[in-house]
Structure 1
Amino acid sequence: MTDTTPTGTTPDPNRRAPHFVSQEPWDPYVADKLTAEQERYYMAGQWKLMWWRFRRHKPAVVSMAFLLLMYFSTLISEFIAPYDLHTRHSRYIFAAPQSVHLFHEGSFLGPFVYGLKMERDPATLQRIYSPDKTKPQPLRFFCLGESYEFWGLIEGSFHFVCPPKDGTFFLLGTDRLGRDMFSRIVYAARISLTIGIIGIALSFVLALVLGGLAGYYGGWIDSVVQRLTEIIKSFPHLPLWLALSAALPVTWSPLLVYFGITIILALLDWPGLGRAVRSKLLSLREEDYAAAAQMMGAKPARIIGRHLLPGFMSHLIASATLSIPSMILAETALSFLGLGLRPPITSWGVLLNEATDINVVAVNWWLMLPVVPVILVILAYQFMGDGMRDAADPYA
């Protein structure tokens, strides 16, 4: 900027520096305008903000995709499994897993397996299976195989993969009755995964109702609910599970036993979630909006359901997600000990029950393979639950 003070004169300290005036019309809201990205962020709802934060947790996203794939597989178990749940192969008892190959003697044949040769150990009379590498047996995909009833309603025979014609395909070996372990693990996932979802749904409802009543009303209702939760929490879980499971009548059908185990798990799991609901309602019921709704004549059920619970529902869902693995482990433990689900219902715990003999496991190690999906599902739920808990944190 050029100084316009005449030469030889003293500058006036009170004189204002010249300024440039914008030729554009002045907009008083220019400083308050937001970019499109900022507006998208500030206008987003609670669930959208949670989803954006959840997507930044990569292990949680991968775990969620894995769990969705597992639950989708339970819808089409009959299509995925190459054999029926109860199909027996008496010639292949305790057969070892068959490896899938692509090349035979340097030539590409596509996915195939070698046939099995069975010999007897002259000393122990144990069956010994070895691959017959002179007979490659190509696998068939999207083919017609063993017939089944889809969800017990619709007859079908279409499979994703079928064993070779006049051959076998035991990807994970067979059990003591010659049943394909891979097919049984696929079918068992339907029971083991759904029992956790149904159990946590019942536990969630109990926690919302009892915890909501205790937190909103307080007084003697709160005292009764608190004493009930303390009594349930004071018992060791495993002995209590065993006692209640043993009390189920042996004459019950497998379906009734399934629902009985689910109800037992739900009744023993709700106290932790119920306490979280109670503590939140104790603090929120004194807020101005809750008092305003009460003065306007809203009933307690509406105040709790429409004004109080939605404020921390995201935290409850995250907590419930972390509770599902404990239910899956509880069912697996009960069935493994022989006090949970019983055949013909098949779960991962029922399959592991057949591996209780250490001598059998030492020789036929593939009987322990049902523990692999249990570990993977538990880890996936833990990672996803951690991601949901972090996403639901308003101070994140």
Structure 2
Amino acid sequence: MKQSVQVRLLPTSAQAGALLATLQACNAAASWLSEWMHGARVFKKFDVQKQCYAELRERFGLAAQPTIRVISKTVDAYTTLHSNLAAGNYGPPRSKRRRAVESRPIRFRSTAAQPFDARCLSWKIEVAGRASSVSIWSVAGRLRDVRMIGKPAHLKALSSRPVKETDLVHRDGMWLLHVAVDVPEAPRREPVNGFLGVDMGIVNLATTSDGVRMSGTCLNRYRKRQQRLRGRLMTRRTASARRLLKRRRRKEQRFAADLNHRISKRIVAEAERTGRGIAVEELTGIRERVRLRKPQRVVMHSWAFAQLGRFLAYKAERAGVVLLRVDPAHTSQRCSGCGEIDKKNRRSQALYVCARCCFVGHADHNAARNIAARGVACWGEVMRPHAAPTPSASRGGSGKPGGVPEF
């Protein structure tokens, strides 16, 4: 499996100027190439490289390997764009938004990240008592012994594991390298004790089938405070207010990511300790399916459930814990005791009362127990691939629902 490692560069003023010029040259080349590809309607990497490689090198003064990385970067951007168009993410074929996206080429910011590979980089990780450093290609020549700092675990991974693609990033005045490192996969453990169901929500960010709730009150309060602060600063329209807005622009995002990291780490550790797998809901497309009033849309669109799901997935894979994504249909309406499905059973956001068996409990805990049961049923189908799923499973009803396994 691949692990993303982040290290920070501490270049001198001359080295920082060379790195900035490198990003600007590479992104100018990518924007020029994007306009050519959009006009010529050529999007295959082999064809683009055959027709534009020499001109890119001559026009922008790039070396051979960085030119190849610029071509790959631009082709990948169009591949992603065409995938989003095919999936309908920009609206129906004749919508105004889709026509606007299709009519103009992709533009790259002057300081957008630039990918490099092993031919453009070499590493020195704490050799003979010296500080860690990196040697990197630039338009001003090879920059040698650029100081580098990072977490000890990340530096150890760089020194002991094969390094794949590396992205050079300039963000908030800092120079960063995002490195993809190959790490051995942990042996997958069979969920001998069943599954730990996880219900994700807004009031409670995560609720497990064991009854443990990770409240989102702190995060929601923090978001509202940041929203009020941004509103006050935007109304002032002064230079100092703009500087403060720029300085705080990623603070809320970092706060939410740190909270999701802690929640996912706690869930994976509990599943690993108890010999269970993890079952979560497949929430793809929930924002398009749900219709909300205007005040609720901000809360829904700031809900970082996809990020929490990604953190759970890679932490579970690293720990060798099985993670399944199951059908979310009726998990909040179904009684985990008797299986009765009735939306009236959920009396409020927190209270669930079954009219059939008189089961009373927290609504999110009840949903997490249903998700855990569906994880067990889905795992049984995965381990018996010759057995066809039941009709109720394919519909996501009250029978044994299917799911999408992730290993």
Taking structure 2 as the reference length, what is the TM-score of the superposition?
A: 0.24
The structure that is helix-richer by fraction is 1
Query: Which structure dedicates a bigger proportion of its chain to strand?
Result: 2
Structure with larger Rg:
1
- Work out which structure has the larger RCO, using CA pairs closer than 8 Å and 6 or more positions apart in sequence: 1
